[in-house]
Amino acid sequence: MSDLAALQTRLSYRFRDEALLRLALTHPSIAHEQGAPVQHNQRLEFLGDAVLQLALTRELYEKFPDFNEGPLTKARAKLVNRRTLAVHGHALGLGEHLVLSRGEEINGGRDRSSALADAYEALVGAIFMDGGYEVAREFILREFGAAFGSLAVIPILENPKGELQELFQARSPEAPRYHVVSTTGPDHDRVFECTVHHAGAELARGAGKSKKAAESEAALSALEKLRAETNRPTGDLVTRP
């Protein structure tokens, strides 16, 4: 395993108990490969998800005092989803530090978006266990500060697959197509990774706990890419209630 000192420098946080960091980086495939009880990062992932939700929900609550539950929930979904967490995990270089089974290593597990997203949530859980809630909250707000800075209004995320199809209907009779490219995790906690294609070209990828959620993430990513390329308005605004 590569040296964790550089990673902790990138995190701007030094673990008192480095074993927590190592656990956060231990992929469940290790347990499957050894066929024996081995600690891995799923429990920390569960904890980190709750800490992320709480910290970001509080910021949204305070930043948008005039909005009710529905729009705030959609804003949180824009900030915290499998795709954005994988981006954060990749930016921190978590992939190079993951502890993987041989099979997962061979199959590109270090770059798999689901593995990076899970490790990122586990990392948040590890920071919470090591330093407490305020330390974890400070880390989260550093990580998501840019997103909050650009989130001047509440987004709407009702039906990204429908929006993507409508976008292409004006250009082509061919509808976007979705393909499941990988399924990881145990039966009770599957993570699906999907691609979305149009005219034979891959537009984007997404991951989620169900095939439908993964397809929605892929569609959302494709919409953002297409709109950025054409400088179109995002259409992600709702009026104040």
DSSP 210-229: SHHHHHHHHHHHHHHHHHHH
Q: Residue 241: which pLDDT band, with cuts at 50, 70 and 90?
A: very low
- Whether 33 and 135 have beta carbons less than 8 Å apart is answered as no
Answer whether residue 81 shows pLDDT above 50.
yes
> What does CATH list as the number for 160-230?
3.30.160.20
What does the pLDDT look like over 30-51, one tens digit per residue?
A: 877 666 677 899 999 999 999 9
CB-based contact 80:52 (threshold 8 Å): yes
Structure tokens at 69: 């539950």
Which burial class, exposed, middle or buried, applies to 73 when counting CB atoms under 10 A from its CB (0-12, 13-18, 19+)? middle
**Residue 197 CA to chain centroid, in angstroms?**
21
Q: Match 């709109």 to its residue by tokens.
A: 227
- Which long-range CB contacts under 8 A does 207-210 form with residues at least 24 apart? 207/82, 207/83, 207/86, 207/113, 207/114, 207/117, 208/81, 208/82
pLDDT digits (tens, 9 = 90+) for 120-177: 999 999 999 999 999 999 999 999 887 765 555 555 445 788 878 877 877 778 889 9
Angle value at C-alpha 215, between 74 and 169, nearest 5 degrees: 95
| Token duo for residue 192 | 């699906």
Q: Which range has the worst mean pLDDT, 3-12, 17-26, 138-147, 220-229? A: 220-229
- Radius of gyration, CA atoms only, the chain: 19
Domain 5-150 bears CATH identifier 1.10.1520.10? yes
Q: DSSP strand E in 73-200: where?
A: 177-184, 191-198
pTM above 0.75, yes or no: no
Q: Which residues are catalytic?
A: 49, 121
pLDDT digit string (tens) for 83-130?
889 999 999 999 999 988 888 788 888 888 889 999 999 999 999 999
For helices 82-91 and 211-230, the axis angle rounded to 10 degrees is 70
Q: Where are the domains of the chain?
A: 5-150, 160-230
